[in-house]
Structure 1
Amino acid sequence: MKARRITPFTYVSYGATDILGAGAVGVTGAWLLYFYTTFCGLTAIEAATIFAVARVVDAIASPLIGFISDNFGGTAIGRRFGRRRSFLLISVFLLPCFALMWVSGQSFWYYLLTYIFFDFVYAAVLIPYETLASEMTSDYKQKAKFAGARLLFGQAASLLAGVLPGRIVDFMGKDDANTFLYLGLIFSGLFMIAVLLTWSQSWERDRTGEPPEAPRRGNPILNLYGDLWSTLKIRTFRIHLGMYLSGYIAMDVFNAVFAYFVVFALGSSMVLASNLLGTVAFGQFFGVMAAISLCLTLQPAPTYRLAIVLCGAGITSLLAIYLVKPSDLNWWLYGAIALAGLGRGGLAYIPWNLYNYMGDIDEVITGKRRDGTIAGVMTFVRKAAQALAVMSVGAVLEWSGFAAKAATQSQATNFVIVCVLIGGTLTLMVTGFAVSTGLSLNNKTHAVLSSVVSRLKAGESEFSESDKQTVERLTGWTFSALWGRGPLNRSTRWTR
């Protein structure tokens, strides 16, 4: 089958669904804890419990969705609409549930159930979606552009998530809880349009001629979680997860506590917090554009470290502003936030750019494509990371004596807010900097990997020592154990 032509509109249509991916994370990460504790009467611990319970459910749901999407092509629906794309089409009609999360005055159980249900729908879209770039192309540069397109849309959604609440507050008043309901309704509509656009303009790899997978013995549930665990035995995937978690948890902690920092520690307003979060997203937008270019020249790992330096400088500036409290406070805040946002663009883009190549590295080990399984791990880790960040912030706020619905907080609570915002984010980013030094994936090593896979498919068995060493460093396995010859278990030898 002839490869389909990828046009600029293809990139735009693909990237649109990250309005859901980043938009939902941006809105919930920045505002949901604040909404629960300020307008719903929940304690910080009750709010944190919602995120904790949802992650337990997600530990089952996300891997299962990834596994099902890998095997959905054999069903009538999968053959008609695609094993990945079917999930997008079905989920479009469930996405309005996002607005239900933002209804004030309900019980703890209402908020728990609405959050869990949306979390499930989110996974049902994002896990299959994350495999589509690898389904649509195998070219290194095209995959980088797909990653760039989705992150640009994601940053636009984050910008909207930051500034829109402030605009609604200006219109409705700072004490009206319906601010967040309208926010949820607007984003629900955007999510539906974006996912439908991606579904209509995407496609999946032609699998004609691929041999059917042999039936697997043993308990299917144990096999499922065995597959998930096996992805962590891939060296580059482990490094990728370390970079991903360090950067994204740092951003999640920042988002979760930033509104508290502005409103309570600096004694300002929710409108200013909203405007500053919008400025962060604006900076991230340009940071993503810069990172797309740098990843193809400077390469991913050095670009990631440069992003950490920029973001760290902006966050450190916030500490100086808090201590000095200059008379023109707002302007200093906007400058620091813009610098942090520029660095955050790189932290947001690079892990998702790297993700598009994880299926290629896994294929040289297993001899098959497990993009859905890898996507299931990624989505679970992403949501678990955000929940861990928000839960931790909630627990620390409760420990510090945070008073729900209070106009001001104690000096001790404000000090803790500052420590979490500055110390927590910087510690995580330093960890990511260190982890990135072990990454060897770039356009040259990926070209070697692609060549080796093609030659293995053609039945070749002789390879140069240079090619072997490159692939071994990417996979973490001895070359003799690759291409399905060494099952992913303890009996197989690792190179490191």
Structure 2
Amino acid sequence: MIAIATHGANQMYGRREYGQRQCAGKGIDHAEVAGRRKETMMSRSRWDVNTVEHGKIPWSAKLGYSTFSLSYVMQTMIGTWQLFYFTTFLQIPVVATTALLAAGKIVASVIGPAWGYISDRMYSTALGRRFGRRRSVMIIAVPLNAACYVLMWVPGLPIWAYFTASLLYWVFLAGLSTIQYGLPSEMTDNPSQRAQLVGINQIAGAIGSTFLSLFNVYLFTIWGKDEWSPYFKMAMIYGVIGVGVLIIGFLTIRERPYDESTDVAQADAAPGRRSGLVKRLISIVWNFLSVIRVREFRNYLGLYLCEQCFRSIRGTINTYFVIFVLLLDPQTVSLATGVNTLFGIACVALFMWVTSKVGGPRAYRIGGFEVVLVFLSLFVLAWFSPQLSSHTKAIAFIVLGLFMNFGITGVVNATQYTYTFIPDVDEIITAKRREGQYASVNATIDDIFAAIETVAIGWVLDATGFIEGTQTQPASTVTAIAVMYCIAPIVLCLAGIMFTYRMRIDRDSHRVLLSEIDRLRAGGTMSDVTPEVRKAVESMTGMPYERCWGHNNIIDAKHQE
């Protein structure tokens, strides 16, 4: 078993050696580190067969990663039916229910950085050394998340119990989301394998959403929908499914074994300086903010936020656009959604190949320009809507939706693929692997901007005279919906395309980056860097080469640069 563990560590970076170390620019007792590594490998040898690989990873590990998206049937059940269930059957006032839901998401966005900080440092605990730093978080988060999920559907509890259960559900879900975001970089260094992981994740999410929608229709048919019990039983079914697939994921995902790159806790403070609770909290905030100094991460955020915002705007007011602008019936929305979901699965398979071949920025541009053309076509359709028959508009909307889904799939796939390179850039800066840190920042910023965007849409609709409970809206509101639905996404998509030209990391520069990390890990000195490598590293990090490899205060605010 020890031989397997050693093989897993060597396999992690291919030709990386773990002899001499130059780590984080700090004095390290290498004999002590080597001893801790040996002890760790011996204590968790049964899991080392699941460590990260430099080449291809088995399909069992890829499917294991997809279980995170499949487990979101629990979250989808909450998002679809919790508000209705609470207000209709549990008789909780709508104001209290919406406050309950909002509080959970706000807390999740705040707690995200703490999960990333903890997850990256779990190798400093006995649990982490036994099971791995990502799996150890799952051991904590999965059962507690499931318990809170069940409590939210049990009738007859006081409001404070539902409030607490909902709050904690989102808290523990944030921990699982942090792991999911970081796993593609955690599981492999191979760009093609990362592209497959990203694509499989998208496909699993689409399958999960489609399954829930269709299965709910069947269950409502046999159980009815006018009492609380069908909703409770459906929620329990999805709870069992969600926990079951996560257990499969726990057994099959791969993660980096313990070594100096994953011993992130060692870089938190200078030797001999202990950190109390207050200092830890300050460090969490510092690590959250300091990543913005990484140039390639800032460029990635531009891609990500533009993509997320234009997709969210489209999703939020899609029904309004169909009903109030195109004057079509709600069934058209359901039909278009179902057709687009199935078509989207095929598009993901295509873009998995395209993205791995041309890289994230180019794939983003391919999908982005196609999205812009479709939104322009939809604006033309809206402009001539009064002159067209309902049948013509319905067919045009569905067909344009198919083309739209092709482009959106490409943009999302390219964005998620590009993200998988960010922890590699961070490693040349800090000499540490901090997938959890970037995953938590990503999730938190997403929640913040989603909240801002929702409020902005509501403000625009209210300012233009939106009338609740009617089948028609004033002309000013119709125009505002059309502009928000068509023009705002075009602007955002073009902004995202602009950021792709600022990205410096691609397959070639990524190879240069990993090669330089290999050289430094093998005991090479920073003074021996070639001018070409120096230029590449500085273009991706936004820092002078001399301040990379731990010679900075990105992790520890008090570290002398």
State the TM-score, normalizing by the size of structure 1: 0.84
Residues 283 and 557, structure 2, Cα contact 8 Å, conserved in 1: no
Partner of 1:392: 456
Residues 299 and 442, structure 1, Cα contact 8 Å, conserved in 2: yes
Shift in CA distance, 392/180, structure 1 to aligned 2, threshold 3 Å: farther
Residues 288 and 348, structure 1, Cα contact 8 Å, conserved in 2: no
* Correspondence 1:131-280 to 2 at 5 A: 131-160=182-211, 187-208=238-259, 213=266, 216=269, 219-280=279-340
* Correspondence 1:334-483 to 2 at 5 A: 334-404=398-468, 406-411=469-474, 412-461=476-525, 462-483=528-549
Structure 1 stretch displaced more, 78-87 or 241-250: 78-87
| Length, aligned pairs only | 491
Residues 368 and 411, structure 2, Cα contact 8 Å, conserved in 1: yes
RMSD of aligned residue pairs (Cα, Å): 4.0
Partner of 2:361: 301
* Correspondence 1:286-297 to 2 at 5 A: 286-297=346-357
Q: CA deviation at 1:247?
A: 0.4
Shift in CA distance, 152/477, structure 1 to aligned 2, threshold 3 Å: same
Gaps of 5+ in 2: 1-5, 9-48
Cα deviation code 1:212-269 (max 9, x no counterpart): 7155257221111111111111111111111011101111111111123234444444
Shift in CA distance, 107/249, structure 1 to aligned 2, threshold 3 Å: farther
From the CA coordinates, give the structure whose radius of gyration is larger: 2
Residues 33 and 390, structure 1, Cα contact 8 Å, conserved in 2: no
Q: Aligned to 1:424, what secondary structure does the other structure show?
A: helix
Residues 61 and 254, structure 2, Cα contact 8 Å, conserved in 1: no
Q: Which amino acid aligns with 1:459?
A: G
Partner of 2:126: 76
Structure 1 stretch displaced more, 277-286 or 89-98: 89-98
Q: CA deviation at 1:15?
A: 1.8
Q: Which amino acid aligns with 2:7?
A: K
Q: CA deviation at 1:37?
A: 13
**Are 1:57 and 2:99 counterparts?**
no
Q: Which amino acid aligns with 2:425?
A: I
CA distance in 2, matches of 1:397, 1:36: 27
Q: Aligned to 1:227, what secondary structure does the other structure show?
A: helix
Q: CA deviation at 1:185?
A: 5.7
Residues 27 and 158, structure 1, Cα contact 8 Å, conserved in 2: no
Shift in CA distance, 316/36, structure 1 to aligned 2, threshold 3 Å: farther
Q: CA deviation at 1:155?
A: 3.0
Shift in CA distance, 114/319, structure 1 to aligned 2, threshold 3 Å: farther
CA distance in 1, matches of 2:233, 2:497: 39
Partner of 2:395: 331
Structure 1 stretch displaced more, 224-233 or 265-274: 265-274
Cα deviation code 1:391-414 (max 9, x no counterpart): 33334334444455x252422444
CA distance in 2, matches of 1:430, 1:166: 39
Structure 1 stretch displaced more, 182-191 or 153-162: 182-191
Shift in CA distance, 220/201, structure 1 to aligned 2, threshold 3 Å: same
Q: Which amino acid aligns with 2:429?
A: I
Partner of 2:553: 487
Q: CA deviation at 1:9?
A: 2.3
Shift in CA distance, 253/68, structure 1 to aligned 2, threshold 3 Å: same
Shift in CA distance, 431/123, structure 1 to aligned 2, threshold 3 Å: same
Structure 1 stretch displaced more, 212-221 or 465-474: 212-221
* Correspondence 1:39-58 to 2 at 5 A: 53-54=103-104, 56-58=106-108
CA distance in 1, matches of 2:330, 2:113: 37
Q: CA deviation at 1:449?
A: 0.2
Shift in CA distance, 290/192, structure 1 to aligned 2, threshold 3 Å: same
Q: Which amino acid aligns with 1:201?
A: T
Q: CA deviation at 1:374?
A: 1.2
Q: CA deviation at 1:47?
A: 8.6
Structure 1 stretch displaced more, 124-133 or 37-46: 37-46
Cα deviation code 1:432-451 (max 9, x no counterpart): 11111101211111100000
Residues 48 and 391, structure 1, Cα contact 8 Å, conserved in 2: no
State the percentage of identical aligned residues. Answer: 23
Residues 58 and 120, structure 1, Cα contact 8 Å, conserved in 2: yes
Q: Which amino acid aligns with 1:435?
A: F
Residues 247 and 347, structure 1, Cα contact 8 Å, conserved in 2: yes
Q: CA deviation at 1:184?
A: 5.5
Shift in CA distance, 86/394, structure 1 to aligned 2, threshold 3 Å: farther
Q: CA deviation at 1:57?
A: 2.2
Shift in CA distance, 473/42, structure 1 to aligned 2, threshold 3 Å: farther
Q: Which amino acid aligns with 1:127?
A: T
CA distance in 2, matches of 1:97, 1:263: 37
Q: Aligned to 1:410, what secondary structure does the other structure show?
A: coil
State the TM-score, normalizing by the size of structure 2: 0.75
Q: Aligned to 2:7, what secondary structure does the other structure show?
A: coil
Residues 162 and 278, structure 1, Cα contact 8 Å, conserved in 2: no
Gaps of 5+ in 1: none
CA distance in 2, matches of 1:444, 1:285: 29
Shift in CA distance, 344/493, structure 1 to aligned 2, threshold 3 Å: farther
